[in-house]
Every structure is written in C-alpha cells, then in structure tokens.
Structure 1
Amino acid sequence: MELNLNGRRALITGSSAGLGEATAKLLAAEGAAVVVHGRDKDRTEKVAQDIRDAGGTATTVFGDLADDAVAAEVARAASADGPVDILVNNAGFYRHLSWAEATPDEWRDTYNINVVSGVRMIQHLVPAMRERGWGRVITIGGGLASQPMNTHPQYNATLAARHNLTVSLARELKGTGVTSNVVSPGAILVEATKELVTEIGPARGWGNTWEEIQPNAVNALIPNDQERFGNPDEIAGAVAYLCSEYAQYISGATIRVDGGLIRSAF
C-alpha cells in the first residue's frame, strides 16, 4: 500500500530516539518532509542525517516543550520551510516511582511535560491546519491510560489525559478536514522498557539475565496473543496509516498496538 505522503510536512516531537525516531524514519520513507525534534542536538541531528542518507527529507528543531517560550520557538522553526500538516505528539517522560515517592511536584512536572507540552504544540500548529482544510494530529498514548499499574501513578494519569484530550480535539475539529487520533502502544521494547524490566525482574523471580527475564516479564506484565514485546516500527506503522488519505474517516479513535493485550496484571 502506498501511503503517498509526498508534499506533507510532519513534526514528530521527541523523535531523537525510540518510538519517535522510528516514526520519523517511516514517515520520511513514505515521502513526508520530516521535522525531527529533540533536546539533545547530537542525537537529533543523527536521526535527521540517517533519514537524509536514506534518501528522505529531514530538518531538525530543538528545545524543551515544557517551556511556553521554547515550545513557541519550536513550532515557529518547524514551520520555517513550510506549514506543518502532521503533528505527532510523542514527546513524554516518566520515572518509575511508587505512590509514596510520587510527590505533588512530581505529578505537576509530569503533567506539564506529558500533557501540556502536547497542548502547546496543538495550539500553535492546528489553527493553520484548520485554515488549510487538512491535517493530522496523532498522540502517542498507552494501555496504562485505562489499565494503570500500581507504580508510577503520575505517569499513568497523564496517559489517560492524553487519550481524553485527543477525543476532545477531534470533536473540536469536526468538519474541518483535520483528524485527531491516539496510537496506544502496549509494552514496546525500547531502551527504557528494557531497563525497567531488567531492574524489577530479579526481585519478581523472573531471572537474572535478559534471556530469562524477557519471556517471564511478558507473561507476568503484558500477556498478549503475540507472546512478546512490540517493536518501535509497529507503532510507526500505525501512525503512518493514520497520516494517510486512507484514514480520513478515522477521528477520535484509539488504535491499540499491543499484541492483543489480554488483561492487566495489576
């Protein structure tokens, strides 16, 4: 299937690594001019160079979207070479904390980074999409929005907010040609996931090496029909589809990419 994103410009926040990097590379491969965003200049530039080396088009923007002025500058820079047609709100943050460790300040900081940062980008970029009569806003959410763990509650709650605001935005954009959707990953094997599972694995009796821990972690945490962790390219594929003309009739939806998660273990 040709998604035909030629002529579209896409900003993927938090795309210097992980899911964002995979998404930026796939959208570029499908013809979009990609704006790679990150806070680490070297990592962000490397992703953009990888895209260019593969024959794609990529520029970079830098900055912490948790700051109003910086977010405004990122939006301006992302639009410098043309209007942004596709906004993928991927940037996010979490710390693995217990309820006792998650202080009110931690809750506020996590909400600002994970929720308000995305709202900033929506408010800067979506009005122009509405004026042009075409646009895509895709928010990366997660299964913890509806099946939260007992740990890092401050993060779980921000995922629920991301899902909720996406549907509200879809209602706001009714009849404009701009859609708003969530891609909701299960447990995807990025570096942070591997670090977390490796950290808690021995204490939970899953083993001491990654080869021992991985299958036990899947069975205990994310029992699913595919019996494995997902990979970043599988999330990128769902995002790319939602960016295409084939997905014009999809808005306010949550697309689960979780292997058919059977139940929550918490």
Structure 2
Amino acid sequence: MDLKLKGKRALVTGSTAGLGEAIAKLLAAEGTTVIVHGRNSERAEAVASAIIAAGGQAEIALGDLATDAGADAVAASSSEGGAVDILVNNAGYYHHLNWSTALPEKWIETYEVNVLSAVRMIQRLVPGMRERGWGRVIQIGGGLAGQPIPMQPDYNASLAARHNLAVSLARDLKDSGVTSNIVAPGAILVPAVKELLENIAPQHGWGETWEDIERGCVRDMVPNDVGRLGRPEEIAAAVTYLASPYADYVSGATIRVDGGTVRSAF
C-alpha cells in the first residue's frame, strides 16, 4: 500500500536505536526523507547508512534536545535539506526509581528530556508546517500515562504530560492542515528490554529459552490479550499511518499499540 509519503521530510527524535530507529526505517521505506536524530554521531551514521543501503533517503541531525542550544542545532540541521513536514517526538528515557529515590532533581531531568524536548521541537518546527498548510506531529506516549504504576513516578507523569500537550496542540492547530496525535506503546521488545528480561528471568523462574522468558514476563509483569511483547515495527506502523495523508481526519487521538494491556474502552 502506498501511504503517499514520497517527497515528505520527517524528523524522528531519538532515532539511533529502539523504537525511533524502527520508525525512521519504516518512514524511509515509504519514501520519506528521514532525519535521524541522536547525540552520538556514530550511532546516527549507522542508522542513516542502513536506510540509504536499503534504498531510502536519510540525513542526520545531532543535538541534546534537553537544552535550547541543542534544539536550535537540531532544528537548523533538519531544515537544511528542506522544510520538515513530519515531527515524531520519540526521544526520552526513564530511570528505575521509586517514590523514595525519585528526588525532585530527577523529576526535573525527566521533564526536560521527555516533555520539554518535545515542546522545543514543536515550537521550532510547527509554525512552518502551519504556514505551509500541512504537517504531522506525533508524540510517542504510553499506557502509563493513564494507568500509572508505583514505580517510576516521574516517568509516568512525563508520559501523561506528553499525551496532554498533544491534545492541546491539536486544538490549537484547528483548521490548519496540521495534526497532532499520540501513539502509546505497551511493553516492546527492543534490545535493552530483552537483555533486562534475560537477566532477571532466573529469579522469576521463567525458564531458559527466550520463548519461555517472554511468556513468563507477559504472564507475571505485563498481562495482555495477545500473549507476547510488542515489536518495534508494530509501533512504527502506527506512526507511519498517522504521518500519512490517510490520517487527515485523525486529530488529538491516541492509538494504543499494547496488545490490550490497557483495559479501557476509551
């Protein structure tokens, strides 16, 4: 299926690994020129080279989006080859903290990386989209935004902020031709997650094969209706749909790609 993305330019923040890398590669496969973003030049070059080797088009923008100077640099680099039509705010991270160890300075750090980084890029790139009458802004959120857990309270709250700002932005973009939406992944099998689960499997008695470990993890930690973890390509597919003209009528929406982890009708 042709998603009519040829000729578009997309900046995917935090796209040197994991979900961001998968999103960048699928957008490129659909004909989009992708700007690979990260803070490490070698990792960014590796992803861009892989996209180009597969027949796609890729550029690189380096910078720390937790700072104004870094955001300025990324916005400038991203626009050198032409205007950015699609902004995917994927960059972010979390600490393995709880209510005793997530001190206020960690909350500030989490908000700088997970929330204000998105705000900075929106404020730098969306005005141009509005002037041109077409654009896409997609936040990568998560189920913890609406169903937080005791652990990682700063991260839970930052996800809720990402969801909230995306809907506020959608209202602000009324009648502009630019949309703002959210993709909310569940537990996704990126390399870091697989390594973590393999390390903790013995203490949970999940077995030794990956099939047994994944089954045990889903049963005990992230129960869902599908019975497995998600794959990065499944998140990328939802993002690519929202980036396409086929999603012109989707505004302020959350697409959950979580196997049914979040038990809600709305």
TM range (shorter): over 0.9
CA contact (8 A) 1:23 1:237 kept: yes
Aligned to 1:59: 59
Aligned to 2:151: 151
Aligned to 1:231: 231
Aligned to 1:137: 137
* C-alpha RMSD over aligned residues: 1.6
Aligned to 1:14: 14
Aligned to 1:4: 4
- Between stretches 192-201 and 12-21, larger displacement belongs to 192-201
CA distance in 2, matches of 1:204, 1:147: 24
Instruction: Give the Å deviation of 1:136.
Output: 0.1
SS of residue matched to 2:233: helix
- The one-letter code matched in structure 2 to 1:78 is S
TM-score by length of 1: 0.95
CA distance in 1, matches of 2:48, 2:61: 10
Q: How does 1:124-203 map to 2 (within 5 A)?
A: 124-203=124-203
In structure 2, the gaps of 5 or more residues are: none
CA distance in 2, matches of 1:197, 1:170: 37
CA contact (8 A) 1:223 1:263 kept: no
SS of residue matched to 1:194: helix
Q: Any idea what the Cα deviations from partners look like across 1:82-113, whole Å, max 9, x if unmatched?
A: 00000000000111112211111111100110
Q: Any idea what the Cα deviations from partners look like across 1:204-229, whole Å, max 9, x if unmatched?
A: 45456655432111012222221000
Aligned to 2:252: 252
Aligned to 2:84: 84
CA contact (8 A) 1:48 1:60 kept: yes
CA contact (8 A) 1:38 1:44 kept: yes
Aligned to 2:97: 97
CA distance in 2, matches of 1:20, 1:161: 20
CA distance in 2, matches of 1:69, 1:138: 23
Q: Any idea what the Cα deviations from partners look like across 1:174-215, whole Å, max 9, x if unmatched?
A: 000000000000100012322443454444454566554321
Q: 1:200 to 1:95 in 2, by over 3 A?
A: farther
How many positions carry a matched residue from both structures?
264
- The one-letter code matched in structure 1 to 2:259 is G
Instruction: Give yes or no for the alignment of 1:109 onto 2:114.
Output: no
SS of residue matched to 1:184: strand
CA distance in 1, matches of 2:256, 2:262: 12
Q: Any idea what the Cα deviations from partners look like across 1:29-69, whole Å, max 9, x if unmatched?
A: 10111100011111100100011111111010111100111
- The one-letter code matched in structure 1 to 2:15 is S
